[in-house]
Amino acid sequence: MKEVLEAIRNRRSTRNFLSEQIKDSELNAILESGVYAPSATNKQPWHFTVVQNKDLIDRLNHSFKEFAKKSDNDYLRKFGSNEKFHVFYNSPTVILVSGEIGNKYASIDCAAAVENMLIAGEALGIGSCWIGFIEYLLNSEEGKEFIKELKIPEGFRQIHAVALGYKKNNLTNAPARRENTITYIK
C-alpha cells in the first residue's frame, strides 16, 4: 500500500523526455491499468490508441500548432505560435484516449483511465503528462484524416491523451497543497 501512496504523491507531469522508447512490458502494464479503471455502470466507454511512430507524433504536433495559430482562443494561439512548444513534449509514446459518443460519462470514465495510467507509469519509473490540447485538432474538420490514420473507431471521439517516456530529470517536489479542502462530518 505504501508504494501506491508514494506513486500518487510523487507523480508530476513530465515535459522533458529521453528519446529512448519505453519497454513493451511497461507499456502493457500501463495500458492494463487504464483498462481496469472504474466506469459508470461498468460501460468501459474508452478506446486507447498507442502511437510510437515519431513521424506521426511530429505530424500531429505540427498540425495541432497550425490549427491553434488560427484559433479564436488566445490561449491556444499562444501555444501554436511558440516554435519550441511540442504538444506531446517530444515523448516517444503517446496514448490517445477516445470515448464513446453518446455516453454521458465517457469523459469522466476516460479521465479515470488516464489517472490510473499516470500513476502506473510513475510506479514503473515512466514519466507522463496528461495532454488535453490534441482533442481540439482531432475533433475538428482538419483532424478527420488523422482520425482515420489513427484508426479511432467509429462512434468514438478524442477526449484525452497521455505522453509517456523515460524522464530526463526526476522532479518529485510537490507544490504546496491548498488548505481547507477537506470537511469531516462524523
Residue 176 is assigned to a structural domain of this protein: no
Q: Which residue range is the domain that position 133 belongs to?
A: 2-166
Find the helix or strand (DSSP H, E) in which 138 lies.
helix 134-138
Residue 178 is assigned to a structural domain of this protein: no
Backbone angles phi, psi at 70, to 5 degrees: -95, 0
Supply the pLDDT for residue 2. Answer: 78
pLDDT in tens, the chain (186 residues): 679 999 998 899 999 999 999 999 999 999 999 999 999 999 999 999 999 999 999 999 999 999 999 999 999 999 999 999 999 999 999 999 999 999 999 999 999 999 999 999 999 999 999 999 999 999 999 999 999 999 999 999 999 999 999 999 877 677 788 899 998 999
Residue 174 is assigned to a structural domain of this protein: no
Supply the pLDDT for residue 174. Answer: 73
Residue 24 is assigned to a structural domain of this protein: yes
Total structural domains within the chain: 1
Residue 153 is assigned to a structural domain of this protein: yes
3-class secondary structure per residue, the chain:
CHHHHHHHHHCCECCCECCCCCCHHHHHHHHHHHHCCCCHHHCCCEEEEEECCHHHHHHHHHHHHHHHHCCCCHHHHHHHCCCCCCCCCCCCEEEEEEEECCCCCHHHHHHHHHHHHHHHHHHCCEEEEEECCHHHHHCCHHHHHHHHHCCCCCCEEEEEEEEEEEECCCCCCCCCCCCCCCCCCC
Q: How far apart are CA 63 and CA 55, in angstroms?
A: 12
- Specify burial of residue 173 (Cβ count, 10 A radius: 0-12, 13-18, 19+): exposed
Backbone angles phi, psi at 55, to 5 degrees: -60, -45
> CATH code at 147?
3.40.109.10
Residue 173 is assigned to a structural domain of this protein: no
